[in-house]
């Protein structure tokens, strides 16, 4: 096996409390902030000092999958992905793009404020921005419960490989007199699903964002492993 080197690729600019963000905070008046960022935007010493001057309490949130506070990953998309409950007046994400904020939207039904230091843009997003995905997720869960032939997708990528859990799920489904087939691939490609029309519902065991963001682009229903193991909890979490 080759050795591995991971490079953060930090943003070259300086993360500061800009006039625009200051005005937004003045308008929304949060007393406390749950703070997140992607690894590129985690040099925030000056930003934290500026928030302190505004007497805003900052809760540096930590997700279970990383060792560094502040950082969020795309797979931290469930209510229990965080070490502490998100109870501050504002959830603030520093970074560009929607991939990480969408993880927060999926995890919690609260407004998420995004501050993009590159464009100095502020945007508030929430569940309404993922309505299609969330409605489809709910519908797919119902279809999973009544499906008799289930396809379980397993990737061989080590960081996302859950072969044992897939085999366990197959056993559980067979105890319920359902048919389950395990499909193995490297990168899961939606084009391949359609070659198996007998599958009534897919269970994705790889990156959980495949079973959330991508489900609006495929015809067959798909849910994530975690939701397949406990569909009752999945329904409850959709209301959180």
Partner 1 sequence: MYELELQQLISEIKKQKAKQVLIQLPDGMKHKADQVADAVEEQTSAKAFLWLGSCYGACDLPLGMDILNIDLVVQWGHNRFNKEMW
Among 45, 186, 198, 239, binds partner 1 (CB under 8 A): 186
By beta-carbon proximity to partner 1, the closer residue of 5 and 191 is 5
Instruction: Give the residue from 83, 77, 78 showing the smallest Cα distance to 101.
Output: 77
Among 49, 66, 148, 172, binds partner 1 (CB under 8 A): 66
Among 39, 147, 153, 173, binds partner 1 (CB under 8 A): 39
Which two three-digit tokens encode residue 66? 């990383």
How many of the other CB atoms lie within 10 Å of CB of 238?
Answer: 16
Cα–Cα dist 58/220, whole Å: 43
Q: Does residue number 40 form part of the binding site for partner 1 (CB under 8 A)? A: yes
Q: Does residue number 197 form part of the binding site for partner 1 (CB under 8 A)? A: no
Q: Which of residues 163-182 bind partner 1 (CB under 8 A)?
A: 164-165, 168
CA distances from 110 to 36, 69, 107, 136, 212 (A): 14, 21, 9, 20, 18
By beta-carbon proximity to partner 1, the closer residue of 12 and 239 is 12
Cα–Cα dist 20/24, whole Å: 6
Q: Does residue number 45 form part of the binding site for partner 1 (CB under 8 A)? A: no
CA distances from 121 to 24, 126, 224 (A): 11, 16, 33
* Residue ranges binding partner 1 (CB under 8 A): 1-13, 39-40, 64-68, 71, 73-75, 118, 156-160, 162, 164-165, 168, 186-187, 207, 225-226, 229
């Amino acid at each position: 096996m080759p050795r591995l080197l991971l490079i953060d690729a930090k943003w070259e600019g300086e993360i500061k409390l800009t006039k625009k963000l200051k005005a937004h905070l003045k308008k929304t008046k949060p007393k406390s902030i749950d703070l997140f960022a992607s690894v590129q935007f985690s040099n925030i010493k000056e930003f934290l000092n500026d928030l302190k001057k505004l007497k805003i309490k900052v809760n540096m949130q930590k997700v279970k999958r990383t060792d560094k506070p502040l950082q969020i990953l795309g797979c931290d998309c469930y209510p229990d992905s965080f070490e502490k409950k998100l109870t501050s007046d504002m959830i603030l994400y520093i970074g560009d793009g929607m991939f990480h904020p969408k993880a927060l939207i999926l995890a919690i039904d609260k407004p998420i404020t995004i501050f993009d230091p590159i464009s100095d843009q502020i945007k508030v997003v929430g569940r309404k921005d993922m309505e299609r995905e969330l409605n489809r997720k709910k519908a797919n869960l119902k279809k999973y419960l009544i499906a008799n032939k289930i396809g379980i997708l397993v990737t061989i990528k080590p960081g996302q490989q859950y072969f044992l859990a897939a085999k366990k799920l197959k056993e559980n489904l067979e105890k319920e007199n359902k048919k389950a087939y395990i499909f193995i691939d490297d990168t899961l490609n939606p084009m391949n699903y359609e070659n198996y029309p007998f599958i009534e519902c897919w269970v994705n065991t790889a990156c959980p964002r495949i079973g959330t963001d991508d489900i609006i682009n495929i015809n067959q229903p798909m849910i994530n492993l975690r939701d397949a193991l406990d569909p009752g909890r999945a329904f409850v979490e959709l209301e959180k």
